Amino acid sequence: MEAAAAGSQQRLGSSTTCGPRVSELTEAGNLAGVQHIILVLSGKGGVGKSTISTELALALRHAGKKVGILDVDLCGPSIPRMLRAQGRAVHQCDGGWVPVYVDQEQSICLMSVGFLLENPDEAVVWRGPKKNALIKQFVSDVAWGQLDYLVVDTPPGTSDEHMATVDALRPYGPLGALVVTTPQAVSVGDVRRELTFCRKTGLRVLGVVENMSGFVCPHCAECTSVFSRGGGEELASHAGVPFLGSVPLDPELTKSLEEGRDFIREFPESPAFPALLSIAQKVLTEAPARVP
């Protein structure tokens, strides 16, 4: 292993054998079998990128797709908990690190720095070059195998991790970006810079998602715009990119993420359910595919 992950060697499990299809693909690069790559981005922290990444992956899985999640939020790796996968060990095979499968059918797999930490409360206090090296390892040294979609959950901003991720993934493109905001003007202003980042780096924007878009009362079904409303749609219109939808606040969605449950399967009556399914359907239609 490279120096970037040297301090995490003890979290790596024993070696295992890659399946024949995985071994075949690693000869051409560990992302050779990935058909679509989607980066979930935002210029603002706390807008729910990890929530959208997780629910998008679950919705794509329920649409019959095989999905991988690459968590490059190195300082805040929350997806292992959201998928009830925290504490798992990462194993190695001839093709590299084996991602952690979160279901028996092996339809969703995940790689995160959270699996490499001895203590879940341990802080990742790394400078840019070490972060960039681990991101490159996650792209080149993980045996992703055959996937329909790879969803990449990113930290907020437009800095080192984002440039390292785009540079590492670009050879396996085309890449698509899903940009997340909340409705209020402060968030929209920061997310507008993320759209500028996408233009400068040549990322195709699949669309904008407005998260936390109102609270629907479970008793009377009235929607209260807690954080204003419409900022995401206005941003998309101004930038000339698609608006994928608004996801309302829902206590059941929060609870399902904290407990690592499958919201898409368990809460079809939630007001957030049709919004998340609609976003996934638009991604299925719009995400650019690799040409074999």
Condensed to tens digits (0 to 9), the pLDDT of residues 79-116 reads 999 999 998 988 888 878 999 999 888 999 999 999 98
Q: For the residues 19-35, what does the mean pLDDT come to?
A: 61
Annotated binding-site residue? 157:
no
Annotated binding-site residue? 176:
no
pLDDT at 12: 54
What is the rounded distance in angstroms from the CA atom of residue 249 to the CA atom of residue 284?
24
Residue 217 has a CB neighbour count (10 Å cut-off) of 10
Angle at 97 between CA 95 and CA 101, to 5 degrees: 115
Annotated binding-site residue? 200:
no
Annotated binding-site residue? 96:
no
Q: What is the DSSP string of 137-170?
A: HHHHSB---SEEEEEEE--SSSSHHHHHHHHHHG
Single-letter code of the amino acid located at 253: L
- Omega into 77 within 30° of 0, i.e. cis? no
Q: How confident is the model over 219-236, as pLDDT tens digits?
A: 777 778 887 788 999 999
Helix residue ranges, H only, the chain = 20-26, 49-62, 79-82, 128-140, 160-169, 185-201, 231-239, 251-259, 263-266, 272-286
Q: What's phi and psi for 35, nearest 5 deg? A: -85, -35
Q: What does the mean pLDDT of the chain come to?
A: 86
Annotated binding-site residue? 47:
yes
What is the rounded distance in angstroms from the CA atom of residue 221 to the CA atom of residue 111?
38
Residue 129 has pLDDT above 80, yes or no: yes
What is the rounded distance in angstroms from the CA atom of residue 197 to the CA atom of residue 68?
24
Q: Which of 10-24, 37-51, 150-164 has the lowest mean pLDDT?
A: 10-24
pLDDT at 193: 92
Q: How far is CA 114 from CA 15, 109, 119, in A?
A: 19, 14, 9
Which band of pLDDT confidence, cut at 50, 70 and 90, is reported for residue 288?
Answer: low
Annotated binding-site residue? 217:
yes
What is the rounded distance in angstroms from the CA atom of residue 211 to the CA atom of residue 226?
12
Torsion sign (Cα): 253, 259, 262, 268: negative
Residue 66 has a CB neighbour count (10 Å cut-off) of 19
All residues at 6 or more sequence positions from 67 whose CB lies less than 8 Å from its CB, including other chains? 57, 60, 61, 107, 108, 109, 147, 148, 149, 150, 151
Q: How far is CA 169 from CA 45, 140, 220, 223, 272, in A?
A: 23, 9, 46, 40, 31
Annotated binding-site residue? 18:
no
Residue 282 has pLDDT above 90, yes or no: yes
DSSP type of residue 229: S
Closest CA to 111 of 155, 133, 82, 79: 79
Q: What's phi and psi for 105, nearest 5 deg? A: -75, -10
pLDDT at 27: 41
Residue 23 has pLDDT above 50, yes or no: no
Q: Give pTM, 2 decimals.
A: 0.88
Annotated binding-site residue? 45:
yes
Residue 20 has pLDDT above 50, yes or no: no
Residue 158 has a CB neighbour count (10 Å cut-off) of 19
Residue 281 has pLDDT above 70, yes or no: yes
What is the rounded distance in angstroms from the CA atom of residue 31 to the CA atom of residue 34?
5
